[in-house]
Structure 1
Amino acid sequence: MSSNITLSFEMESDRHIWIVALLKAERLKAVWDNDDLAAEVQFWKGDPIKTWFRDEALSELKLAKAYYSQRGISFANGRHRTRWLLQQGYEHIPVMLLPGSFVEAMLDGILVRPAMFGDVLIHNTASS
């Protein structure tokens, strides 16, 4: 599998407005690992699931929907693929956040920036 993953925003029609965000991977892992509610997915074993991607080459990732606060992180969907991304050594992890969660992430210092369609995830060379 290619180490480059392009972000693909598959927006579902629901009542919420989601903001695509890049979060600091090391900080996300620390917050997640200390969250009792999110602890059920501590490790992903094996290859990624093809339905996580929009293409056969497994290079266009569908994004997880998450809720962030200073108390922790929870997911509407995508917690397994997010854990898999963390294990791959990417520097930033993309998730979709509700506006309130986006602001919380910004205030807490975990937010890198809003993500853009076509962003490419970069491996953290320090962890490779």
Structure 2
Amino acid sequence: MTYKRCLLIDDNYIDNFVTRRILESSNFAEEIAVRQSANEAISALKDGSVKPDVIFLDLRMPLMNGFEFLNEFDKIEFEGKEHIKIFLLSSSLDPNDVKRTTDNKYVVQFIHKPLTHKTLEELGS
């Protein structure tokens, strides 16, 4: 399945670069937007400059972490929000993180970094 627009939210430039390359080589989305902070991503969603179908969200970020992003995401209103799929992409092995994400109504799946072609294939099935 190819999505129209994908948003990567991660403070790590290298992780964004690698994830973007995997998404591009898999033809996962027609457009890929990258934001290096959750604050930037919230602003882009609020002003409509980014309208994703799918979001890959890192958990561990300075200033606003992934869970705080999800809280802010819940508060904002925009067209099509209910159709966005959010995948948590994290190196965290904390079972509490996994539980908190599976309890969140916006999060589809918790994925351990790094994202791989195999993981993407499994998302599509």
TM over 0.5: no
Larger RCO (CA under 8 A, 6+ residues apart): 1
Structure with greater helix percent: 2
